Amino acid sequence: MTLSFFDQFMSPTYLGIPLIALALSLPWILYPKPTTRWLNNRLITLQGWFINRFTQQIFQPLSLGGHKWAALLASLMLFLITLNMLGLLPYTFTPTTQLSLNMAFAVPLWLATVIIGMRNQPTHALGHLLPEGTPTLLIPVLIIIETISLFIRPLALGVRLTANLTAGHLLIQLIATAAFVLLPLMPTVAILTAVLLFLLTLLEVAVAMIQAYVFVLLLSLYLQENV
């Protein structure tokens, strides 16, 4: 019974072919494409308003050099939100519960920000490894600590997204199983458990959106340090 709770995190296969590629391509099919008409429908207008507000919120503190990342980070934000939300539907697979996928997003983008900082302003980028006014005896220790914290950043990005989504899915399945088992034994407790399950689902919808936003926000902060 315990092992079956983790079956939802296994990549689905059909005839030995992993279907994670289908799950990753589904979000791009759902979003409407811009048209050449003068007036757009309500859905495209709402989508454009959301993207504009998001880019203003994220890139307002950045310099003009960082605005080149607007299309990439806005697309990543929409992609992660859609994957997280689709994973809350019954009998669906959530690709963002896989640490390998999240690390594949985090490591290249973090490495790109570091390379940009080293290329454009190497003195400033290396200055983050040693705070100003550090005592001479602490210089080697602080350099090692700051270097380790620098390389932990992509790991923290991937693990944060994976852990939050995995914990939420496990809680939903545990409470749903408890409500199903308690229904013939204690109907009142089962109804209260179902109400708790509904509230937890609403919370997971918020977590799915917030975690996607935090992932992109932290990437923009790393970019701000190096641009």
Whole-angstrom distance, CA of residue 32 vs CA of residue 46: 11
Residue 2 counted as domain residue: no
The tens digit of pLDDT for each residue in 142-186 reads 888 888 988 999 999 999 999 999 998 889 988 988 888 888 888
Side chain identity, residue 112: A
DSSP letter, residue 40 = -
Residue 116 counted as domain residue: yes
pLDDT at 47 over 70: yes
The structure's pTM equals: 0.84
The tens digit of pLDDT for each residue in 55-77 reads 888 888 777 777 888 888 888 99
Task: State the alpha helices, DSSP H only, in 7-98.
Answer: 20-30, 42-59, 70-86
Residue 111 counted as domain residue: yes
Residues 195, 188: contact at Cβ < 8 Å? no
| Number of compact structural domains in the chain | 1
Of 211, 95, 215, the C-alpha closest to 157 is 215
Whole-angstrom distance, CA of residue 166 vs CA of residue 5: 11
Q: Which tokens go with 141? A: 């220790």
Residue 87 counted as domain residue: yes
Cα dihedral sign for 130, 134, 136, 140? negative
3-class DSSP state of 13? strand
Domain span at residue 161? 7-226
- The number of residues making up the chain comes to 227
The tens digit of pLDDT for each residue in 94-112 reads 888 888 889 999 999 999 9
- Which residue's entry shows tokens 């902060």? 221
Residue 47 counted as domain residue: yes
Residue 95 counted as domain residue: yes
